[in-house]
Structure 1
Amino acid sequence: MPRISVAQRRSDFINAAVEVIAIHGIEGATTRRIAEQAQANLAMLHYCYDSKEDLFADVFDFVAGRFREVLKDSDPHSDPVDTARQLLRGVMECYLESANFAAAALELISWARRQHGDRGISVYDQALETARAVLGGATSDHPVEPETIDQIAYVIAVLADGFALNWMTYGDRSAATEQMEIAVSVLDSWLAVRLGATPAAL
C-alpha cells in the first residue's frame, strides 16, 4: 500500500473536520471524531497538527479558499449583469452540492465572531472581495461605479446566505432548486432597477 503523504493526511483531516462541524457543531468537533471521520487514528492527527486550533486554522483557510474558487469559476467573462447572475448561481450550487459545507461555513463564521472576532470577518471579507474583483472585471459599455459593485456583491451574499439557511433547515432538494430560480429572479429585479438591466426570462 502506498504511503499517504502528510499533505494528503492534512487534507483528509480538513475535509473530515468540515463534516464533523456540520453535524456536531464547533463544540462537538473533537479530535477523536475528526480522526474517525477521516478514517485515521488519533495519533496521526496529532502528528499532522500540534493542536485543534492549528487544524481549525487550516479549516478556515479551506472554507475561504472554497468561496474564492467557486466565485472565480463562476465568472463568465461577460457583462456585469450576467456575471452577477452566475456568481449567485455558483455559490448557491456550491451550497446545494454540500449542505454540510454550508452548515460548517456558517458555524465557523459565527463561532469565530464570538471567539476571535476578526477571523470570522476575514472569511466573509475575502469572499466579498473576490466577488467585487470578478464583478469589477466584467466587460461593459457603461462602466459600473465601485459603489454599485459593492452593492451587487452585498445583494449576492444576502441572497446566497438566505438560500443556504433555507436549504439547511428543510433539506428539500426539489424545493431548493426552485428557490434558486426565485433568488436569481430577485437579483434580476434589483439589477433592472439599479442598472437598467433587462431581467432574464425564467
Structure 2
Amino acid sequence: MPRLSAAERREQLAEAAIRVMIRDGVAETTTRAVVAEAGVPLGAFHYCFRSKEELFQTVIERIMERNLPPAGLAHPPGATPFEKVRAILHAYWEQVLARPAEHLVTYEVTQYALRRPGLADLARRQYRHYLEVNRAHLESMARAAGLTWTVDLAVLARHGLGVLDGLTLTWLIDRDDVQALAALDEYARYLASVAEPLPAEGGPAA
C-alpha cells in the first residue's frame, strides 16, 4: 500500500465514501464499507476522521466545491447584466447535469441527519456552509460581471440557495430539462433586476 499523507488519505476516503453513497445510499454508508471501497484498513479511517459525521461533512464540502459554477467566466463585449448572470448560472447547471448522483447524495445526507437527533447539527452545518459559499459566489459573480447588488447580500444568498436548491431537487425528480432551464433563466432575470453596473474606475457612481 503506498504511503499517503493524512490529507491524501482523507481525500481517498472521502472519494470512496461518495462512491459508496451513490451506490448503496447514505444510510448504508458505514465506516467499514468506506474503507473496503478505498482498500485501506479500518485504522486508516480513525487516523483521518474523528467520526462518520466528520466524514459526511467533508463529503458535502467536496461535492459542493467541485460543482460550483465558474464565477470568472469571460463575457463578450456589450453583454447585458442578464446575459452575464445567465451564463454563470448555466455553467452551474452544466455541473448539475454532469454529476446528478452527487447532488442526490447531498439531499440524502440532509434527510439522514435530520432524522437522527444526534446528527441534526450536521444538517445545520451543511446549510450554513451552503449559505457561506453562495454568498461568496455572489460576490465573485458580481466582480466578474462588473455589477453590484442592490439587495442585502445575506438575504440574496439565502434567496439564491432556496431557488437553486429547489430547482436542482425538482430536476432530480422529473428530469425536465426544458422547464429547469426556463426557471433558471427566470432566476437570472431576477438577479439582473437587483444588480447595477459598477461605475467605471475613477468615474462617478451611477
1:76 — aligned with what? 73
Query: Deviation string for 1:125-147 (max 9, x for gaps)?
Result: 1232123312442314xx54134
Q: Which amino acid aligns with 2:125?
A: R
Give aligned pairs, total: 186
1:53 aligns with 2:53: yes
Alignment of 1:92-103 (within 5 A): 92-103=93-104
CA contact (8 A) 1:108 1:120 kept: no
Query: Deviation string for 1:130-179 (max 9, x for gaps)?
Result: 23312442314xx541348944x556434432342244335x5xx53x44
The separation in 2 between residues aligned to 1:122 and 1:166, in whole angstroms, is 22
1:121 — aligned with what? 127
Secondary structure of the equivalent of 2:26? Answer: coil
Decide whether aligned partners of structure 1 residues 144 and 168 sit closer, same or farther in structure 2, where only a CA change above 3 A counts. Answer: closer
Query: Deviation string for 1:47-86 (max 9, x for gaps)?
Result: 333432332343244245345xx24x23336564334223
Q: Could you tell me which of 123, 135, 139 is aligned with 1:133?
A: 139
Unaligned runs of 5+ in 1: 197-202
Q: Could you tell me which of 162, 168, 175 is aligned with 2:172?
A: 168
Aligned-residue CA RMSD (Å): 3.4
Q: Which has the larger radius of gyration?
A: 2
Unaligned runs of 5+ in 2: 197-206
Paired-residue identity, %: 25
Q: Per-residue deviation at 1:99?
A: 1.5
Q: Which amino acid aligns with 1:47?
A: Y
1:199 — aligned with what? none
CA contact (8 A) 1:74 1:87 kept: yes
The separation in 2 between residues aligned to 1:65 and 1:91, in whole angstroms, is 11
CA contact (8 A) 1:16 1:38 kept: yes
Alignment of 1:1-202 (within 5 A): 2-66=2-66, 70-71=68-69, 73-76=70-73, 80-112=81-113, 115-116=120-121, 118-137=124-143, 138-140=145-147, 143-147=148-152, 150-151=155-156, 153=157, 156-170=160-174, 175-176=176-177, 178-190=178-190
Q: TM-score, normalised by structure 1?
A: 0.69
CA contact (8 A) 1:13 1:35 kept: yes
Q: Per-residue deviation at 1:13?
A: 0.9
1:200 — aligned with what? none
Secondary structure of the equivalent of 2:39? Answer: coil
The separation in 2 between residues aligned to 1:11 and 1:133, in whole angstroms, is 28
